[in-house]
A and B are shown apart, each in its own frame.
Chain A
Amino acid sequence: EVQLVESGGGVVRPGGSLRLSCAASGFIFDDYAMSWVRQVPGKGLEWVSDVNWSGDNTAYADSVQGRFTVSRDNADNSLSLQMNSLRAEDTALYYCARQMRDCNRISCFTVYAFDMWGQGTMVSVSS
């Protein structure tokens, strides 16, 4: 089955750390760039971070730059998000998402849209 399954969420105090994981299955993981997107319950979506297929190119939202680190293990088909110095405003449901690829007759390429999502893992930062 083609799916993404997040884990690692929980309750943590401000200033604490948490590591989220996303297990991918049913597709060739290292063909795809991957992202983390979060959503405060009842609110909108916010892009957090992404990593290219090989793991050597990453990007972060300004709100998490310097505190969060994204990584991937293609041998294990997994994506991770290390979250340090957590703040109350980081409280959200964190989704792992796959960046869509489209193909023509010559090659395949990322089209910068999210075509597969996990079910999310909840992170609550509270004292």
Chain B
Amino acid sequence: QSALTQPASVSGSPGQSITISCTGTSSDIGSTNLVSWYQQLPGKAPKLLIYEVTKRPSGVSHRFSGSKSGNTASLTISGLQPEDEVDYYCCSYEGSSSSPFVFGTGTRVTVL
């Protein structure tokens, strides 16, 4: 199972909105609503931002939102802040696959 494809970097100015894409195939993202997103600060474990494509766990800022269209999932960060300048990963789960969890390649967000 190949990693999901994310842009290596995405940038935006403070206060702007940015969108990180996560592209898979009809065998992973295209066939499941079990897509999650994680934020990883340097030297720290990942933190769950979004699950089941659009849902936010308790305590996660409303500035983070998720969506999906076809084989591509997306994470939108609204009102970009300097502390958002870290790494983000998507992940999909497809239970019928031999490797059911697949992560994305990761995206570094830069706040200009």
Interfacial residues, chain A to chain B (CB-CB below 8 A): 35, 37, 43-47, 50, 59-62, 65, 95, 100, 102, 111-115, 117-120
Contacts of A62 in B (CB 8 A): 1, 98-99
A44–B3 touching, CB < 8 Å: yes
Interfacial residues, chain B to chain A (CB-CB below 8 A): 1, 3, 34, 36, 38, 45-48, 51-52, 55, 57, 89, 91, 93, 95, 98-106
The total of interchain contacts (Cβ-Cβ below 8 angstroms) comes to 70
Known A35-B101, A115-B51; 10 more pairs at CB < 8 Å:
A37-B103, A45-B38, A45-B103, A45-B106, A47-B101, A59-B100, A100-B57, A112-B34, A112-B100, A113-B93
By secondary structure, the A interface counts as strand
A113–B34 touching, CB < 8 Å: yes
B52–A118 touching, CB < 8 Å: no
> Distance (Å) between the CB of A111 and the closest chain B CB?
5
